Amino acid sequence: MSDPMTRRRFLENSSVIAVASACGTAFAQSVPRSSFGAQSTAEEVTEGLDLSGKTAVVTGCNSGMGYETMRVLALRGAHVIGTARSVEKGQEAAASVTGRVTPEVLELTDFDSIVACGDRIQAMDVPIDMLILNAGLLLGRGLQQVRGLEMQFVVNHLGHFIFGNRLMSRVVDAPEGRVVVLGSVTHMRAPEGGIQFDNLGGEGWSNRYGHSKLANGLYSLELSKRLAGTSATSNCVHPGTVRTNIMRNTRFSAASFDKSPEQGAATQCYVATHPSLTGVTGEYFADCNPAEQGEYQKDETMAARLWEVSEELTRDYLV
Ligand SMILES: NC(=O)c1ccc[n+]([C@@H]2O[C@H](COP(=O)([O-])OP(=O)(O)OC[C@H]3O[C@@H](n4cnc5c(N)ncnc54)[C@H](OP(=O)(O)O)[C@@H]3O)[C@@H](O)[C@H]2O)c1
């Protein structure tokens, strides 16, 4: 899609549903709709695809949607590098799926761990066709911090910001590298004003998880702009409300949520693999289709500022 003729042909052939801006010049990006929906599973949306020869990196592979994503991408022939917070969790998850899976340790609160994991994956010397930033943390009401920063902002956004920085050269090396960022519809409940740049410690925020998920969406948006001119893309997904372990740190349970992990993993697998999405970037998906998003998540100025602030906060760990 980096070839201008190919890109133009793609734009002409699809219905226009979104207007994006790159390099200050407005252009229309078309996003095809799919026949998949809320009930579709990751196996269904990847049926018939041969991913052999491709490499996927999936964070949080030992649980919930990360596990299902690893399982299904490996089933379709991809080599999946799956991260977990301990050797044991990663090995146990990898051993339970069919296909080629390499477990790696990644602890997103520990920036040295992120650098080390990125270095090990770099040393494998392979292009990364799919980088799925899936790991995530949802905390209860009590404020928790890492490095003086709100913890969900660190785990869900800042840790992945470093991880993405360490691996993006490999994504760009792939013929059609795709970054998929797990956001959430909860980004719409982020505090008034969006990202709390002047108070990243988390005190007084109305919805800290929503704030971190807004950061995920803004990261994907700004990354898509920074990847302009390459064949790589970045998109954000909301998986639905999914019966995983996500509520483990709260007094609530996900048992009544409407999707199974097999259904929840469908959108990220669809966006990571489906041939119809070649070249689609900077978009937001739910139920395997483009979705409405909140105003803050479309705010390009906020996205650019978040990138700069994230760089400042992690400078010593970036390439
Ligand atoms: N479930 C939903 O309804 C829902 C809705 C919208 C968005 N999401 C998003 O979907 C993604 C996947 O969540 P899930 O529902 O599958 O949840 P999950 O079952 O709780 O899995 C979360 C994964 O993230 C890992 N993780 C947590 N903290 C980490 C850290 N500090 N460092 C490295 N890895 C860490 C977990 O590892 P451990 O098992 O070792 O803790 C686990 O592998 C998340 O980004 C979540 O925000 C979920």
CATH of the domain at 65: 3.40.50.720
Q: Which of 65, 80, 105, 157 to mutate to test the pocket of ligand 1 (most atoms within 8 A of CB)?
A: 65
Please tell me the residue having the least CA distance from ligand 1 atom 36: 60
85 lines ligand 1 (CB under 6 A): yes
- Look at residue 27 in the predicted model and tell me its pLDDT: 55
What pLDDT band is residue 11 in, cutting at 50, 70 and 90? very low
- Look at residue 29 in the predicted model and tell me its pLDDT: 76
Cα 103 from Cα 221, distance rounded (Å): 29
- Residue 235 reports pLDDT greater than 80: yes
What pLDDT band is residue 30 in, cutting at 50, 70 and 90? confident
Average pLDDT of the segment spanning 162-169: 98
Whether 113 is covered by a domain: the verdict is yes
Buried b (16+ CB within 10 A) or exposed e, 161-180: bbbbbbbbebbebbebbbbb
- Residue 283 reports pLDDT greater than 70: yes
69 lines ligand 1 (CB under 6 A): no
- Residue 203 reports pLDDT greater than 80: yes
Average pLDDT of the segment spanning 278-284: 98
- Look at residue 54 in the predicted model and tell me its pLDDT: 98
| Residue of 67, 209, 219, 270 marked active site | 209
Whether 312 is covered by a domain: the verdict is yes
Whether 25 is covered by a domain: the verdict is no
Whether 2 is covered by a domain: the verdict is no
243 lines ligand 1 (CB under 6 A): no
Average pLDDT of the segment spanning 136-141: 96
Q: Are 60 and 135 in contact (CB under 8 A)?
A: yes
Whether 100 is covered by a domain: the verdict is yes
**Helix/strand/coil for 293:** coil
317 has catalytic annotation: no
Q: Are 174 and 168 in contact (CB under 8 A)?
A: no
Tokens of 150: 């709100």
Question: Which is it for strands 178-182 and 233-238: parallel, antiparallel or unpaired?
Answer: parallel
What is the total count of domains within the chain?
Answer: 1
- Residue 8 reports pLDDT greater than 70: no
Q: What is the mean pLDDT of the chain?
A: 92
Distance 60 CA to ligand 1 centre (A): 6
Closest CA to 239 of 79, 132, 153, 162: 132
**Helix/strand/coil for 59:** strand
- Residue 4 reports pLDDT greater than 50: no
Whether 92 is covered by a domain: the verdict is yes
Average pLDDT of the segment spanning 260-276: 98
Rounded to 10 deg, the angle between the 111-123 and 159-173 helix axes is: 10
Whether 172 is covered by a domain: the verdict is yes
Average pLDDT of the segment spanning 207-233: 98
- Residue 298 reports pLDDT greater than 90: yes
- Look at residue 47 in the predicted model and tell me its pLDDT: 98
- Look at residue 315 in the predicted model and tell me its pLDDT: 98
Distance 272 CA to ligand 1 centre (A): 18
Distance 246 CA to ligand 1 centre (A): 6
Residue 84's alpha-carbon distances to 5, 80, 104, in angstroms, are 41, 13, 6
Closest CA to 51 of 130, 157, 135: 130
Cα 137 from Cα 55, distance rounded (Å): 25
- Residue 17 reports pLDDT greater than 90: no
Cα 1 from Cα 231, distance rounded (Å): 6
User: Which of 13-27, 54-68, 146-160 is predicted least confidently?
Assistant: 13-27
Question: Which is it for strands 149-150 and 178-182: parallel, antiparallel or unpaired?
Answer: unpaired
pTM of the model: 0.93
176 lines ligand 1 (CB under 6 A): no
List the domain range (segments joined by +) for residue 111. 40-317
Tokens of 128: 């990364």
Average pLDDT of the segment spanning 104-110: 98
Please tell me the residue having the least CA distance from ligand 1 atom 45: 136
Percent of the chain with pLDDT over 70: 91
Please tell me the residue having the least CA distance from ligand 1 atom 28: 137
90 lines ligand 1 (CB under 6 A): no
Tokens of 251: 């007094």
Identity of the residue numbered 291 = A
- Look at residue 28 in the predicted model and tell me its pLDDT: 63
103 lines ligand 1 (CB under 6 A): no
Cα 279 from Cα 234, distance rounded (Å): 9
Q: Which residue has the higher pLDDT, 32 or 2?
A: 32
Whether 70 is covered by a domain: the verdict is yes
106 lines ligand 1 (CB under 6 A): yes
Distance 162 CA to ligand 1 centre (A): 18
- Look at residue 58 in the predicted model and tell me its pLDDT: 99
Please tell me the residue having the least CA distance from ligand 1 atom 31: 108
Task: Report, in angstroms and rounded to the nearest whole number, the Rg of the chain calculated over CA atoms.
Answer: 18
Tokens of 98: 């069919």
What pLDDT band is residue 107 in, cutting at 50, 70 and 90? very high
- Residue 18 reports pLDDT greater than 60: no
